[in-house]
């Protein structure tokens, strides 16, 4: 009786763990020819939001040596870093290859 309860309990736990698995295809999950022939444009990706400190105070000398980060209660100004949002993303073919960011086009 204990064995049956143990088997059923482990079955429910394992099914619950697999039920919460993501349905998003990650390239790192693939192996062999599927990895080699991966088409990124056929799969949706979740963008990662990256934040950076906009104005960090530079501490030098003895103040740096005695700085305690856990006692720092100053307000941090965070800025979102956007990667890949440019006009070049919209281009295809030779226009993408020959894109020159230093030449501003008047629209």
The alpha-carbon radius of gyration of the chain (Å, integer) is 25
pLDDT tens track for 24-50: 667 778 889 988 888 888 877 777 788
Cα–Cα distance measured from residue 25 to residue 42, given in angstroms and rounded to the nearest whole number: 10
* Residue 99 binned pLDDT confidence (cut-offs 50, 70, 90): confident
Q: Are 56 and 27 in contact (CB under 8 A)?
A: no
Q: Are 52 and 79 in contact (CB under 8 A)?
A: yes
- The pTM assigned to this predicted structure is 0.34
Paired tokens of 79: 């800025």
| Statement: residue 16 has pLDDT above 70 | no
Cα–Cα distance measured from residue 49 to residue 29, given in angstroms and rounded to the nearest whole number: 22
State the DSSP H helix or E strand holding residue 51, giving kind and residue range, or none if neither.
strand 50-53
State the DSSP H helix or E strand holding residue 12, giving kind and residue range, or none if neither.
helix 2-19
Cα–Cα distance measured from residue 107 to residue 86, given in angstroms and rounded to the nearest whole number: 15
pLDDT at 5: 79
């Amino acid at each position: 009786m204990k064995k049956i309860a143990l088997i059923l309990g482990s079955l429910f736990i394992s099914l619950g763990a697999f039920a919460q698995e993501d349905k998003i295809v990650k390239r790192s999950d693939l192996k062999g020819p599927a990895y080699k022939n991966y088409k990124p444009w056929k799969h949706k990706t979740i963008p990662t939001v990256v934040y950076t400190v906009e104005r960090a105070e530079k501490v030098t000398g003895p103040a740096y040596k005695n700085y305690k980060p856990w006692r720092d209660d100053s307000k941090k100004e965070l800025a979102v870093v956007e990667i890949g949002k440019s006009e070049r993303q919209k281009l295809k073919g030779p226009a993408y290859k020959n894109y020159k960011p230093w030449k501003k086009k008047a629209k």
